[in-house]
Amino acid sequence: MSGEEEKLVQNVFKSNWIAPAGPDIESFEKEICSYTGASYAVALSSGTAAIHLALILNGVKENNEVLCSTLTFAGSAFPILYQKAQPVFIDCEKKSWNIDPELLEFAIEDRIKKGKKPAAVIVVHLYGQAANMDEIMRIASRHGILVIEDAAESFGSYHGEKHTGVIGDVGIFSFNGNKIITSSGGGALISNNRELAEKARYLSTQARGPVPYYQHEDVGYNYRLSNVSAAIGRGQLRVIDDRVKRRREIFEYYRESLKDIEEIGFIPCDIYGKSNCWLTCIMLDGRSFTPEQVRLNLESVNVESRQLWKPMHLQPVFQRCAYYGNGVSEKLFDNGLCLPSGSSLAQDDLDFIVGHLKKQFGR
């Protein structure tokens, strides 16, 4: 927390706007737009809820197919199942660790040949690194497929001069507790299409009709963010630039400090734009230690690390889904590790972590 959040939350308590309604929600949405350049924002209960609404807004329904990055958190793909649609997973490129445009186009054309034109594609900006949106948008436009940008991990990241999330047809953010800024829980859907944004707001409040009694002509959802959480998010927005600056400093510190250990490589950074460096991820070449051995070694001194996301096509819940792969995501999962990257890490913490890694690798 920055200190600003407590003041804003106290104002919420004084005003008695506690429910999923109130002035801070509207202010939070306007401030998200101001920061990202989006025309419209709808504050929601989670990034997963935002993806679910994005699919509904784009008409995804039962038995449709939706293309999705395989190297991601399950929250990117679960909403496809909520709609009783079918995920089709696409592997990533080595260059950015994000969805491979060549594989994406091959998958689209192959699905079309099979009589199953995809309804949408969910592109994830993994660990804060922007995907190749120029090529992805060209491919999607050529085939008439909608693009949902999962920018849950990339708030504060840019593709070229544009903030991630504003390039596709719909973008989503997450403000969960592990993200670069948080509203304790929460997310947002953004769009430059006013009609889509208004429909999202309508559906997120149980699809209540504009009459003085409760009337529902559509299935609605309890997906709206609370005014209290919005106030926390507003406080966090005031320090987002500081958070990005600190995460990038942490990434550079790790990279510089560990550069002499040949067995360790790093996640590609700033390939298509400026990353928020949400997490610093390393790759081990396997000559000395496995990721699990490094993880356990760090855990022995009370330092938490974690393997990269397990690809969705390897998850039991998605075992029957189509997959277009090149083996990159599996290799990354087998050899990758996420290091502590929190904005509040002190220099002593970083020195301790690096020192322990150097000791393990005989440096």
Q: Look at residues 205, 237, 269 and tell me which one is the last residue of a structural domain.
A: 237
pLDDT digits (tens, 9 = 90+) for 321-337: 999 999 999 999 999 99
Q: Are both 211 and 321 inside the same structural domain?
A: no
Q: Are both 318 and 231 inside the same structural domain?
A: no
Q: Look at residues 216, 237, 258 and tell me which one is the last residue of a structural domain.
A: 237
Distance, in Å, from the CA atom of 225 to the CA atom of 21, rounded to the nearest integer, reads 8
Q: What's residue 59's pLDDT?
A: 94
Q: Look at residues 187, 211, 237 and tell me which one is the last residue of a structural domain.
A: 237
Instruction: State how beta strands 65-69 and 306-307 pair.
Output: unpaired
Q: How far is CA 73 from CA 77, 124, 138, 253, 297, in A?
A: 8, 9, 25, 26, 25
The residue ranges of the chain whose pLDDT is under 50 are: none
Q: What's residue 20's pLDDT?
A: 74
Structural domain including 210 reads: 4-237
Distance, in Å, from the CA atom of 254 to the CA atom of 274, rounded to the nearest integer, reads 18
Q: Are both 233 and 255 inside the same structural domain?
A: no
Residues 181 and 239: beta-carbon distance below 8 Å: yes
Distance, in Å, from the CA atom of 101 to the CA atom of 81, rounded to the nearest integer, reads 24
Planar angle of CA 326, 330, 335, nearest 5 degrees? 130
Residue 247: give its domain's CATH number.
Answer: 3.90.1150.10
Q: Are both 135 and 259 inside the same structural domain?
A: no
- Placement of tokens 């990353």 in the chain: 275
pLDDT digits (tens, 9 = 90+) for 124-180: 999 999 999 999 999 999 999 999 999 999 999 999 999 999 999 999 999 998 999
Instruction: State how beta strands 306-307 and 336-339 pair.
Output: antiparallel
Q: Look at the chain and report how many structural domains it folds into.
A: 2
Host H or E run for residue 282 = strand 280-284
Distance, in Å, from the CA atom of 249 to the CA atom of 346, rounded to the nearest integer, reads 12
Residue 105: give its domain's CATH number.
Answer: 3.40.640.10
Q: Are both 174 and 224 inside the same structural domain?
A: yes
Tokens of 32: 């998200």
